[in-house]
Structure 1
Amino acid sequence: MHPHTAAIKHGPSLEQAGAILTIDLAALRENYRRLRDRLGGAACAAVVKADAYGLGAGEVAAALRKDGCGTFFVAHAAEGLALRMALGAGPEILILNGIHPGAEVDCAEAGLIAVANSAAQLAAWRETARRLGRRLPVAIQGDTGMSRLGMPPSEVDGLAADALDGLDLKLVMSHLACADEPESPANEAQRAAFEDFRRKLPPAPASLANSSGIFLGGGYHYDLARPGAALYGVNPTPDRANPMRQVVRLEAKVIQTRDLPVGVGVGYGHAYRPMAPHRAATIALGYADGWPRRAAAAAFFDGQRLPFAGRVSMDSIILDISSLGRDLLPGELVELLGGNQTVDDIAILSGTIGYEILTSLGRRFHRRYLDG
């Protein structure tokens, strides 16, 4: 992080908020370049659904545009329309879940690209093109073995001869279910199924690789890769060292400090009782801010680990600061996420994945965007 870099500020003011979430856009852009460089001649898009995994789709996409990213994927029409307003004309924005009935005209007029996951979605988009009297771009997604979204082989086989009338097929795509398990036979099975799927459609650019799929090798890269979590610092290769830079830093303010005598009950349920006298600090962060209640982790001050004492509360956490060698003052900051403790570290402690940690981060933080 670069604490003295000029920052864009969002959310509550620094004085009003209990915690600060810093998004390092320079690190994000570096992650994009690292992923793009692994692709050789394939293009690199960016998945910015769920408000760019909780970090701000408008800010993230605008930063990635500086490094030439011209294609963005979101999940819902509302996300696509908001991103179009933020970015203006130019970038391609694709709606991964397809467009819900009734939203087609709004999306078409905003220049969004529907990802058709079924024959019904494809027909509705074709009808929208007819109503508007102009051709519309479309992507078609096939289900090659994840059983989540996309046309199964039988549905592709049953497409009418005029299924693409009035439409420009911009992309043929599918999604890998086990890309983060490079030895899984499911990866090659899906790649083979994707080849079969492509043959049933007119020639078009192809996309299969997500963040982890990029690391499976060139056979999975095709024409366009769609990284998401790796852009934001989540490890796309869980069995190896993380090749990505950390993007987020989360710091919470100290509210007050106190002495804890031996045996005193600490927090809800008195789940913690010190076996020796402690000095404790209560910080302004809790599960209402997206910190997992089961993640009994630690905070850090000047690189020194300060373990949690007792359970995570809705708006606060108690820390054991006995080893610090000094007291903490109200308003001083301790680090919860950053160089000492990553999103993936907390995910492991919580029995979940980094994606969930990022997308759960709340809106009560003072948010800073650094780029430079």
Structure 2
Amino acid sequence: MAPLPPATLRLSVDTDALAHNWRALDTMSGSAEAGAAIKADAYGLGVATCLPALRDAGARAFFVAHWSEVPEAIAHVPAGQVSVLHGPSNAQDAAFARATGVKPVINSLAQARLWIDTGAGACDLMVDTGINRLGLSMHEIGDAAVAQLEIDTLMSHLACADEDSAMNAGQLVRFREAVAAIPARRLSLANSAGIALGPDYHFDVTRPGLSLYGGIQRREHEGVIRQVAQLQAALIQTREIAAGESVGYNATFTASKPMRIAVVCLGYADGFLRSWNGASLAFGSARLPILGKVSMDMVVVDLTAAPDLKEGDWVDVPYNLRNAAEHTGLSQYELLTVLGKRWQR
């Protein structure tokens, strides 16, 4: 097969900014060690790119969600540094954990018994302190199966850490109750936003995720967390339209004067959803407003501010996560994880 032509979508990861963000969050974690959530292909930015940068910055505890995410992770770090958050659902999962050496996170009494019955060994344990997702309920922490586990990290997950909510303090109280009842080598409660809640929430290991990749959830992150993802898309056609002509599906934009416009190779198949309608792309300091609706594979922009652009030129996609979230109504998590496969990384 002939080699593929160059891509018309580029996603670059600023690994220096990524390493800076981990070091900043590690410093904010005080005496605790900052780990790194690398689930969902490092929040859409690529484990193969991000994990070595995080490892080299100093991270030693890594968290994935699915068993399918394990092979790529352990290609870069020792298996014992990787925890699988969804835990073992069957004997095959347990066998895979032992064969690779990664740690399952036990989330229920059923998982605890499965892990014990298939041979036990080191694991992590999630206790639910109020988010009501995965994790042992508080009334289950005294069960005999829990006492048989060899727990490396006892953890819970905050529901409202990005807000100044009374729920944070309530979860902290319940986590301390679990800590008093369950022996473990290490303790972990705080996610990215939880780190900013202060030392009471840090314990031994923090688990930053979104903020590693440029997400800003609390004021304490402002001026500290740097943008990591830089996106560019190519112009694939330019054209002139007359006053009265419309652009795109449903003719939602009609030109009031003659205009020079460009079709950009970018659409909702690439994670650039219709919630971006009304936004602008950029060329240097020039803003290029999107005209009409975002399509599956393309958008159309106004070239008035950059009239010399031509087919094959590249424009920037605004991906400051906080600003993008405000415009689109998407969460900062979604903005990263919806990015598709066509980006050349």
Contact 1:70 1:91 in 2 (8 A): no
Identity %: 38
Contact 2:156 2:188 in 1 (8 A): yes
Could you tell me how far apart the structure 2 residues matched to 1:248 and 1:169 are? 36
Q: For residues 130-145 of structure 1, what are the structure 2 equivalents within 5 Å?
A: 136-145=121-130
Question: Are residues 1:180 and 2:162 paired?
Answer: yes
User: How many angstroms does 1:76 deviate by?
Assistant: 1.0
Q: Across the two proteins, how many residue pairs are aligned to each other?
A: 341
Contact 2:80 2:101 in 1 (8 A): no
Give the one of 109, 112, 135 matched to 2:99. 109
Question: 1:93 corresponds to which residue?
Answer: 82
User: How many angstroms does 1:247 deviate by?
Assistant: 0.4
> So what's the TM-score if we normalise by structure 2?
0.94
Question: Are residues 1:330 and 2:311 paired?
Answer: yes
Could you tell me how far apart the structure 2 residues matched to 1:332 and 1:243 are? 33
Question: Are residues 1:156 and 2:141 paired?
Answer: yes
Could you tell me how far apart the structure 2 residues matched to 1:156 and 1:364 are? 46
Specify whether residues 156 and 163 from structure 1 end up closer, same or farther in structure 2 by C-alpha distance, changes over 3 A only.
Answer: closer
Question: 2:152 corresponds to which residue?
Answer: 170
Q: Aligned AA for 1:302?
A: G
Question: 2:213 corresponds to which residue?
Answer: 232
User: How many angstroms does 1:88 deviate by?
Assistant: 4.9
Q: Aligned AA for 1:344?
A: R
1:73-124 deviations in Å (ceiling 9; x for gaps): 000111123311x125365100111122121111111111011110111111
Q: Aligned AA for 1:148?
A: R
Specify whether residues 117 and 232 from structure 1 end up closer, same or farther in structure 2 by C-alpha distance, changes over 3 A only.
Answer: same
Q: Match of 1:362, SS?
A: coil
Q: Match of 2:324, SS?
A: helix
Question: 1:52 corresponds to which residue?
Answer: 42
Question: Are residues 1:319 and 2:297 paired?
Answer: no
Question: 1:41 corresponds to which residue?
Answer: 31
Contact 2:152 2:184 in 1 (8 A): no
* Aligned residues: CA RMSD: 1.7
Contact 1:39 1:218 in 2 (8 A): yes
Question: 1:269 corresponds to which residue?
Answer: 250
Q: Aligned AA for 2:130?
A: G
Question: 2:239 corresponds to which residue?
Answer: 258
1:33-73 deviations in Å (ceiling 9; x for gaps): 01111112100100000010011113211111112211100
Contact 1:118 1:150 in 2 (8 A): yes
- The higher-RCO structure (CA 8 Å, 6+ apart) is 1
Q: Aligned AA for 2:71?
A: L
Question: Are residues 1:21 and 2:6 paired?
Answer: no
Could you tell me how far apart the structure 1 residues matched to 2:62 and 2:264 are? 37
User: How many angstroms does 1:292 deviate by?
Assistant: 1.3
Q: Match of 1:322, SS?
A: coil
User: How many angstroms does 1:346 deviate by?
Assistant: 2.0
Could you tell me how far apart the structure 2 residues matched to 1:77 and 1:22 are? 27
> So what's the TM-score if we normalise by structure 1?
0.88
Moved over 4 A (4+): none
Question: Are residues 1:280 and 2:261 paired?
Answer: yes
Question: 5+ residue gaps in structure 2?
Answer: none
